[in-house]
Amino acid sequence: MDYFVHDTAIVDESCKIGAGSKIWHFCHVMGNTAIGKGCIIGQNVFIANDVVLGNNVKIQNNVSVYTGVICEDDVFLGPSMVFTNITNPRSAVVRKGQYTKTVVKKGASIGANATIVCGHDIGEFAFIGAGAVVTKDVPAYALVVGNPAKQVGWMSEYGHRLKFDKEGIGSCPENGEKYKLEREKVFKI
C-alpha cells in the first residue's frame, strides 16, 4: 500500500486510493469510491458509495460526503461541513438511486459548518464562508457567506479577497497574480 489507513478506519475493498493519501481515525469509506493522490481524510469522516475525490483533497474532521458528490483537485472541506444528496428527504420514502449530483470544482474551499444543498455546483477557487448555507450555484472565484449564502466578493486562488480598480483589474496580495472582473465573472489573466 502506498497510502495510509488508520487501524480504526474502515475502507471497503472496492475503493481506489491514490498514492500518499491518508485516512485517519474512525473514518468509513464505502465501496466504489475513488480517492486521488495526496488526499487527507480527517477523523470521523464518512464517504459514501461512488464518491469521487480528486488529488490533494483535504477533508477536515466530522464531514460526511454522500453519494452524488464529486470534489475535483485541491478542494478543501472544513470541519463539520455538510453535503446533502436528496432535495426532499422523508424517512418513510425510499429515494435511493434518486441522488442529486453536486460538483465542487478545482481549488474551492468550503468553511466549517457550511451546508451545501445538493444540485448546486461550487465553481473553481470559490470560497464558502463558515456556516454558510448554499442554495444555488456558486461562480468561480466567488466569496459567499450567510444563510442563505449570498455573494459578497471575489477571492484569489491563494484565498485572499480581491479588490478591483476602475478597469476591473485586481491582484492577489500574496503572489501578485492578476485577475479581471468582467460581466460579473472573474478570471485570472
Q: What pLDDT, in 10s, does the model give residues 12-31?
A: 999 999 999 999 999 999 99
The contacts of residue 146 (CB under 8 Å, 6+ apart) are 129, 132, 133
Q: Which residue, chain included where needed, has cell 461562480?
A: 139
Grid coordinates given for 57: 483533497
- Number of alpha carbons in the 13 Å side-chain half-sphere of residue 36: 17
Predicted pLDDT of residue 1 = 82
Predicted pLDDT of residue 115 = 98
pLDDT in tens, 91-108: 999 998 899 999 999 999
| Separation of CA 180 from chain center | 24
Q: Are strands 150-154 and 185-188 parallel, antiparallel or unpaired?
A: unpaired
Predicted pLDDT of residue 59 = 98
| pLDDT beneath 50, residues of the chain | none
Provide the 8-state DSSP code for 130.
T
Q: Which residue, chain included where needed, has cell 477571492?
A: 155
Predicted pLDDT of residue 50 = 96
The contacts of residue 72 (CB under 8 Å, 6+ apart) are 54, 103, 104, 105, 106, 107, 108
Amino acid at position 62, single letter: N
Predicted pLDDT of residue 167 = 97
CA gap 6, 4 in Å, rounded: 7
Give pTM, 2 decimals. 0.96
**Selection from 125, 140, 123, 150 nearest residue 184 by Cα:** 140
